[in-house]
Every structure is written in structure tokens, then in C-alpha cells.
Amino acid sequence: MSDTPPADSPTPLAATSEAELFYLAQHPERYPAPLVHAATQELQRRGLVPTEVPRPARRRSSLPSAAPEKPVVLRLLQTLFLPTRRHWATPVLLDINLLVFLAMALTGVAVLHPSGAALVAWGSNYSPLTLPGQPWRLLTSCFVHSGPGHLLLNASSLLLLGTLAEPLLGGRRLLLAYLVCGVGGSLASLAWHTGGVNSVGASGSIFGLYGVQLALLLTQALPLERRERLTLLFFLLFFLVSSVAGSTDAHIDHAAHAGGLLTGLLLGGLYAAHFLRQHWQRA
């Protein structure tokens, strides 16, 4: 029996573009196996790759048969939310954002439309409190969201950027980039909104991850072939432009986005210098 879904059955990556699916399927060594498998299944569903591969005849064995594989959806969910030794920073950050939102809901916050006071209570970047003596709000605000749509948008962006970046940077550098760029975005928000601000969301960190990866790709600091580098660069620029073009709501903190992006470019430059220095030392 093949585990390829029927042609009319949607897969977890049904909304993903063909270019992204082919990139995931062609680089299985860089990404978690369930994610690569899901991409292959979606390509098969669309008729872009064969659904059946000839297999050599199997010899009968006295050994007990292997346990059946878990459903691909379950394996994909485990990959997204359960940290592993090779892929831990992205799931940890994703889980923290989701758990904070869940905790807000369980404690009675109207999470569909939380009040400003509720956001302040949960650690928003509220300038009358952040500036006088609660600087920790620069960071905690990066894990608080103002509604399910806000959370899902940032969570999907974190998932995309983290999945691309973690195999290249490593978990520790990715985690550091998220935190540092989030603080950079919060500081920019305070500096720009001189009349006061009450800001929440991971957007500063998300835009920072764009900046880090752009800096690394533009400096050619990563050991990637030219085609791979240009493909990643195209994806990042496409999603970055899409994010900026979609940020038209008057309540969006554009200063935090810009501050996170600039912080990410600077941090990415430092990462690039480190990687290039390592390369020169080996040469």
C-alpha cells in the first residue's frame, strides 16, 4: 500500500507554492523528514512527480514486520511543535508564543479583542511603564499578541523563516536573533512613538529574521551553491515585500518592523563576519 493521498485529498502543505515544495523535496538533508515527506506528497497530489516508484521484490523474512508509520499529519505536527536535537529553536519559540496566548485565554482575557489594560498586564511594550523602570517589557512584548489573527500571522512567518534559517544558523544563533531583534524593534517603537505606545507582537523579531538571513545571503557567508543562494534570496525578498505590502492597518507598529529589520541586518553582518573568518582560517 502507498501512503500517497488521493489526488483530490488536500495535504498539510496544500497552500504552498510549487517552487517551495520542490526546494524542500530536493534538499531532504536540511529539513525535518516529516516536512520533506509532506512536500513530496503534495507534489504527488498535484501530479508533478510520480506517485508510484517501482520497488524490487522483497524476500520473505522471518523477522517481525516493522510497526506502521504514524500518519503524515501527526508526524508534521510533531515536527512543528516538538523540539529535537537538530531542530529545537523554532518549535520552542513557536510553543512559547502559543502557550502565552493560551494562558491569556484561560485567565479570562478576551483574546479575540483584548483590552489595552490586559495587554499591559501580560507584558506589552507600554512606554509609561517600560521607560521608567520595566525594561523587561522590551522582550516580553515579543511573545504577546492582540488576537488570533495576529498570532497566526506571526506564527506562520516564524515557522517559515525558522525552518529556512535554523539548518543554516543553528538553534542558538536563531534564538539569539529572535530575542535581540525583538528588543531592537521594541526600542525603535519607543523612539518613534514619542507620544506613547502600547505595542505587542513578534513582528519585530520576525522582520529581524528576514534581516539576518538577507545579510548572510548577500555577503555569501554561507556555504551554498549559487542557485541555492539565489533561490533563498528570492523567497526572502518575496515574503518580505508581501509582509510590508500587507501591513496597511493603522494599528500596525511599523517602527517595530523597521527596528527589527535593521537590527537583523546588523546582527546578520556580525554572523557573516564570524562565518567568513572561520572559512578563511580553514583555507
Cα distance between residue 79 and residue 88, in whole Å: 9
Q: How many CA atoms lie within 13 A of 102 on its CB side?
A: 6
> 141, 189, 203, 205: which one is catalytic?
203
Distance CA 183, CA 187 (A): 6
CA distance 9 to 71: 14
274 catalytic? Reply is no
DSSP 77-137: HHHHHS--SSS-HHHHHHHHHHHHHHHHHHTT--TTS--HHHHHHTT-EEHHHHHHH-TTH
Q: Is 247 a catalytic residue?
A: no
- What's the rounded Cα separation, in Å, for the pair 186 and 143? 12
Three-class SS of residue 174? helix
Q: Active site residue: 37, 87, 150, 257, which one?
A: 257
Q: Which residues are catalytic?
A: 203, 257
